[in-house]
Structure 1
Amino acid sequence: MDNQSKMNAKQALNNMKMEIANELGYNYNSETNKIESNAPQGTLEGAAKNVLAGEEVGGLATRKLVEMGEEILLNEYNNKN
């Protein structure tokens, strides 16, 4: 994979994380590439909720990526038969 393709893939993944974070009511900080909760930042509570928000967004992103991969594989299989 060339560098441009890698950059495009990274941007697409970041966009997906941002969309999922927004759907779940979290903020995606594009400068730090981190998910942030609405808890006060710079506090222990904020840090703990950021971890939970990141886990939730990451889990949903993973599920969506797996679903996309499954769909592609099924389409390839169905087109061959």
Structure 2
Amino acid sequence: MDNQSKMNAKQALNNMKMEIAYELGYNYNHETNKIESNTPQGTLEGTARNVLGGEEVGGMTSKNLVEMGEQILMDQYDSKK
């Protein structure tokens, strides 16, 4: 995979994480590539909610990627029939 393809894949993955974060009510910080809650940052509660947000977004991202992979495999299987 060439560097441009890697950059495009990374950007697509970041876009997916951003969309999921917004759907779950979190913010996606483009500068740090991190999930942030809407609670005050720099507080214990803010940090805890950031961790929870990262876990939720990571889980949903993984789920979506698996579903996409399954669909690709099913499409390939169906096209060989």
Structure 1 length-normalised TM? 0.98
Offset of 1:49 from its aligned partner?
0.5
Paired residue type of 1:79:
S
RMSD value, Cα: 0.5
Cα offsets for 1:20-72 (capped at 9, x unmatched): 00111100001000000111100111011100000000100110010000000
Aligned length: 81
Runs (4 or more) in structure 1 with deviation over 4 Å come to: none
Structure 2 length-normalised TM? 0.98
Q: Which runs of 5+ in 2 are unaligned?
A: none
Q: Which runs of 5+ in 1 are unaligned?
A: none
State the SS of the aligned residue for 1:77.
helix
